[in-house]
Amino acid sequence: MSDQTAKLNEQELKAYRVQGFTCANCAAIFEDNVKDLPGVQNAKVNFGASKVYVQGNTTIEELEKAGAFENLKIRDEKEQKVEREPFWKQKENIKVYISAILLVVSWFLGEQYGEEHILPSIGYAASILIGGYSLFIKGLKNLSRLLFDMNTLMTIAIIGAALIGEWGEGATVVILFAISEALERYSMDKARQSIESLMDIAPKEALIRRGNEEMMIHVDEIQVGDIMIVKPGQKLAMDGIVIKGTSTLNQAAITGESVPVTKTIDEEVFAGTLNEEGLLEVKVTKRVEDTTLSKIIHLVEEAQAERAPSQAFVDKFAKYYTPVIVILALLIAVIPPLFGGDWSEWVYQGLAVLVVGCPCALVVSTPVAVVTAIGNAAKNGVLIKGGIHLEEAGHLKAIAFDKTGTLTKGIPAVTDIMIYGGNENEQLTITAAIEKGSQHPLASAIMRKAEEKGLDFNDVIVEDFQSITGKGVKAKVNNEMYYVGSPALFEELHGSIESDRKQKITEMQTQGKTVMVLGTEKAILSLIAVADEIRETSKEVIGKLNNIGIETVMLTGDNKRTASAIGKQVGVTDIKADLLPEDKLNFIKELRGKHQSVAMVGDGVNDAPALAASTVGVAMGGAGTDTALETADIALMSDDLSKLPYTIKLSRKALVIIKQNITFSLAIKLVALLLVMPGWLTLWIAIFADMGATLLVTLNSLRLLKVKE
C-alpha cells in the first residue's frame, strides 16, 4: 500500500470504485466532500485508478451525494463493473445535442431577424441553460466557497458574456466546453481501461471439488485447500499447486511471456492464466484477494496514486497560477476602461482571459501519461510501482546486473565431457552414482546430465564412499576405487597431470567452467566441465542496452576468471567479481556518485540491499515471489530480461510525452494571452485554446499505449 493510503491509519479502510471522474481537480473536490461526510474520519482519492479509500462509516448513497456535482457513480471495490452505455447515448451527451440544435436554430433566426431580435436571444439563452446547467451549479457552488476551478471561471465568463449582450458567443462557449468535457471523459476512460481489463482476466467462478461433490462457486467463497478442476480452454480463477494432470498454460496475462509454459504435478500456477490442452486439478493455495493477479492489480492502482516528480511540480504550480489568472483577468477588465477604454470590450477580454487561464490541461498533463504508461507496462508483464519510478527509469545511465540467476539461469549444467579411454555413458554412470552421495552443488548437474541420457545410475552399487575435504570424493564401484574431484586432487594423487589433459583443463577453466575429473589412482578417465548456463536472452538484452547508451555492469561473488568469461559472452561494459553483498552495495553507491541514475537488476532476495541503494531496483520473476514484488521498484513478472529494454523505452517515451504536455499546455495559454494586447482574444478562441490543449495532452498521452517490445 502506498504512503498516501497508509497515512489513513490502519483503522478499517474501505475502498470504492468511482465512475465519472473527468479531471484531477474534480477528484480533489470529491475527496474534500467525502471528508466532510458525517461518520467519515478521513478519505483519499486515487484519480488514476478511479478509487476512493474511506476511513469511517458511510454508505454508497452518501458518497454519491458527495459526488453529485460531477454526477459520479460509486460501487463497492469487489462489485463487477457495470457496463456503461455507449458514449453517444450517455445522458450528459444528450444535453449537448439539444443545446447544439438550439444554437444552430438561434443562429439562423439571428441571420433572419437580426442579432438584437428577442427570438435568437431566447434560443441562445435556452441553449446556455440546457448545455451549461450542471456547469453553472458547480460554478456557483464553488464561487460561494471562493474555489476557482474551471467551472467557476467558465460560469463567471458565460454570465458576464450574457450581461454584456454576447448571447451567441456565450452559447457557443457552453457547447464547446460540453463537447470537450465529453471527449475528455472518453479519453480518461480509455486510459483507465488498461487496468479494468486486468481485473477481467480471471474468472469470477470456478469448478471446485469438495469431498465427492463438484460444484461451481464464486471465487469469494473458495477456500485455501479446495481442489479446483480446470478444463482445457478455461482460465484459472485462483493461484494454486497442480496435484493432477499436465498441460501447457498461457501465462501472458501475468508474466507477459507469449510462449505457453508446461505445468505438471507440484508446480505453481496463477489465476488469470489460460489452460490450453490438458485437464488439471489444482489445490488452491491463496484466497482471492491474495492471488498474484490481485497483488498486481493492487500494486498498479497504488502506483498510479504515487505522484511523479513532474506531477508534484505541476500541482504546486497550478495552486499559485489560478489566483494569478483571476487577478490578471480582473485588472484587464477594469484598468483600460479607467483610462478611456470601452468597458464592454475590456470586460469581454477579461472574461476570455479567465477561460484561457484555467490550468486543466496542465493539471492533467502528467497523471494521464503516468496512468497510461503503468497500465501498458502491467499488460506486458512489467510492474512499475509508481510514477516516480517510471520517471527515474527514463533517466537511467547505468544498469548493474547480478550474475547468478539474472544473466545466467542460476542452475549449473554439464557443458563438456572429455573421455580418455573407455565408454562415455559407462563413465558418466559411475560418476553420477558416486556423486549421488555428495553434497556438492555441482553433483546435481552431473546427475541431471545422466538422467537426460537415460542412464540408470541408481542401480549401481557404491561402496566405501568417502569425502576428501575441499577436493572431491572417492568410492568403490565393481571392486575398483574411483576418485571424482578437482584437478588439484589428481595432481596430488599422480604427482602431475599429462600436458594434453592439463592444457584442456586450463582451456575450459578460462571459459569460466568448473572442471571435475573422474579417475583411478593410476589414470585420468574423463574430464567433466560444469558451468552456470547463460540465459538465451542475456546477450541480446545487454546489446540493446549498450546501443541506447546505457553502461552495463555485471556484479558477482564468483572468481575473476569465471566472471570475465561470462561477462565477455554477454557483452557487459564492466565486470566486478569476488563481491560480498556489502561490496555490491558499496559499488552501487559508487556508481550513483558517477551517474546519479543507476538501476540494479537482481532476484530480489540476496540482492535486497543493492536493490534498495539503487535509484531503481528491478527484480526478476515477480510472479510467485513476494520478496520481488515487495522490495523492487520495478518487477519483471517473468524470469525474462528481454522486458528490460522495453521498460526503458516506455519510460523514456513517457518522459518525452510529459515534457511535451507541460510545454504545450503553457505555450498555448501564453499565445492566447498575447492576443489580449491587440484585443483579438474572443471567448470561443479562449475555450478552443483551453479545451484543445486538454484534449491534445490526453490524446498525446494515449500514444503510450502503442509502445511495444
Write the pLDDT tens digit of every residue in 226-268. 999 999 999 999 999 999 999 999 887 787 766 788 899 999 9
pLDDT at 144: 78
Domains of the chain and CATH, by start:
3-83 (3.30.70.100), 89-195+301-371+655-706 (no CATH), 205-290 (2.70.150.10), 374-408+535-651 (3.40.50.1000), 411-533 (3.40.1110.10)
Q: Read off the DSSP letter of residue 466.
A: E
Identified catalytic residue from 36, 189, 315, 402: 402
Position 309 scores a pLDDT of: 76
Mean pLDDT by 10 residues, the chain (709 residues): 47 79 75 89 82 88 85 77 59 78 85 77 85 80 73 78 78 77 69 67 90 90 94 93 92 75 91 90 92 80 68 75 83 87 83 77 80 86 87 93 84 89 88 84 87 88 85 89 91 86 89 88 90 88 93 86 87 88 86 90 72 86 68 83 92 94 88 81 76 83 85
Under a CB-based contact definition with an 8 Å cutoff, are residues 277 and 223 in contact? no
Pairwise CA distance, residues 632 & 619, whole Å: 6
CA 128/CA 440 separation, integer angstroms: 83
CA max distance for the chain = 120
Residue labelled with grid coordinates 497500465: 375
Residue 266: predicted pLDDT: 92
Nearest by Cα to 178 from 283, 91, 75: 91
Residue pair 450/457 in contact by the 8 Å Cβ criterion: yes
| C-alpha cell, 329 | 483577468
| pLDDT tens figures, 26-73 | 787 888 889 989 988 889 888 767 889 998 888 888 998 888 877 788
Are the beta carbons of 253 and 293 closer than 8 angstroms? yes
User: Given the C-alpha cell 484477494, which residue does it identify?
Assistant: 289
HSE, side-chain direction, 13 A CA sphere, residue 496: 4
Read off the C-alpha cell for 27.
477528484
- What is residue 8's DSSP assignment? T
Q: What are the backbone dihedrals phi and psi of residue 40, each rounded to the nearest 5 degrees, phi first?
A: -100, 120
Q: Is 402 a catalytic residue?
A: yes
